Chains A and B, each alone.
Chain A
Amino acid sequence: MLSKDLVAASSRPLVLSILSKNESYGYEILKTIKEQSKQQIEWKEGMIYPLLRKLENEELIESFWKTSDNGRKRKYYRIKKSGEKYLEDQKKQWELVNSVLDQLWEDKVCLT
């Protein structure tokens, strides 16, 4: 299981990455994260909505209500242009951290 700090740090890029592929709603986003991480990343379910609201306030995503096939109304989210730019920037930062860690860990392996 991921630590609390890492979950918090990765929450924005995770949500934005999912929304960059397709519009989605809270429940589906959580489910996707859970499936993609093979149940390793699990969020407290009520916590995703304040995050979505925050991203919306920052104008990275936008929301709209849609009626699903079973007649229920759901609040969907889609990424905005500014959100895509933000995600690109985040990708670069995560890749940088990833590559540094990779190198460090590889070095460590070589030393032993």
Chain B
Amino acid sequence: MFDLKEQIESWKHGLLVDKLMSVEDVEELASHIECTIDELQEAGLSAEEAFYVAFHRMGDRRSINAEYIKVNPVHVWRKRFIWLTSGYLLFSLVPIIVKFFIGTIYLFDIEALLFQGNFLFGEEFQTPYPVYVVALLILTGILVYFTSEKSVINKKPLQPYLNYRVAAFVLLGYGVIGLLNVGYMTILPRITSVSTIGNVSASSSFFVLVWHLFLALSLFVMLLISRRRHNRTQFG
């Protein structure tokens, strides 16, 4: 059974997902669609027919977005910054987490418990580049799959996770893991017999922590601004 209201809501949701238009913009387009549907129904079309004709007349999502990009360039650049920063933070997370786990294994001597010896690290705490590369390749594969046209067909499954609440969580997560990493890198050389710890040091971990916190904070602020603009509305 064709539900006109539901169809319009779903169409509105599709436009909002792209975040190139504000709620107000989408409401205005929806009001136009409703006017067209009324007129077509008066002319004798069914609700379903009227909806599809009105939808066709309005133009597809891409062409509507393309026009709104021209009038909202700042909005578009903000969106690009948000995606770029999110991607950078996501990829940076791999070495941070790997370092965190390796630090934990080293600190609590889990390696000795599991493998009865220095199986993983030998005599030195080395940066595990092969692990980084494998983890980054897996992450790239996942992202390519989720963002490819074939798998999602414009559904953009990652978009809902790009909001200021998640950014706040990321900020907190980076803070905690980053501080632990700095702690490990300060403590490890002092409490273990290892004098060299590869190119991992407390100062480099601290610098990485500050840099990522700064980026995560910028992302949080941008998403907050974006949300306010997005929801800016004069109606209702």
Contact = CB atoms under 8 A, between A and B. Distances in A.
Contacts of A85: none
Interface stretch (A13-21, A46-54, A90-98, A103-111): A46-54
Contacts of A50: 67-68, 70-71
Contact of A44 (B31, B59, B70, B72): B59
B179 interface: no
Interface residues of A, number: 19
Given A65-B234, A65-B235, A46 B29 contact: yes
Contacts of B31: 25-27, 72-75
Given A65-B235, A74-B31, A45 B25 contact: no
A75 B57 contact: no
B197 to A, nearest CB: 56
Contacts of A45: 32, 36, 57-59
Nearest to A56: B71
B236 A46 contact: no
Interface in A66-85: 72-75
A63 B198 CA distance: 63
B28 A75 contact: yes
A53 B71 contact: yes
Contacts of A27: 31-32, 35-36
Contacts of A25: 31
A7 B63 CA distance: 17
Contacts, number: 59
B59 A49 contact: no
A73 B235 contact: yes
Contact of A64 (B29, B35, B67, B234): B234
Interface string B223-235: 0000000000011
Contacts of B67: 46-47, 49-50
Given A54-B71, A72-B34, A47 B28 contact: no
Contact of B25 (A47, A53, A57, A74): A53
A76 to B, nearest CB: 10
A103 B67 CA distance: 37
B68 A75 contact: no
B64 interface: yes
A54 B68 CA distance: 9
A43 to B, nearest CB: 10
Contacts of A49: 25, 28-29, 32, 67
Nearest to B56: A45
A46 B36 CA distance: 12
A64 B28 CA distance: 11
Given A26-B28, A44-B57, A50-B71, 16 more contacts: A25-B31, A44-B58, A44-B59, A44-B63, A45-B36, A45-B57, A46-B64, A47-B59, A49-B29, A53-B71, A63-B234, A72-B31, A72-B34, A73-B27, A73-B235, A73-B236
7 contacts: A45-B36, A45-B59, A46-B29, A47-B63, A50-B68, A65-B236, A73-B236
Interface of A: 25-27, 44-47, 49-50, 53-54, 57, 63-65, 72-75
CB-based closest 8 A-B pairs: A65-B235, A50-B67, A46-B59, A27-B35, A46-B64, A46-B58, A75-B28, A53-B71
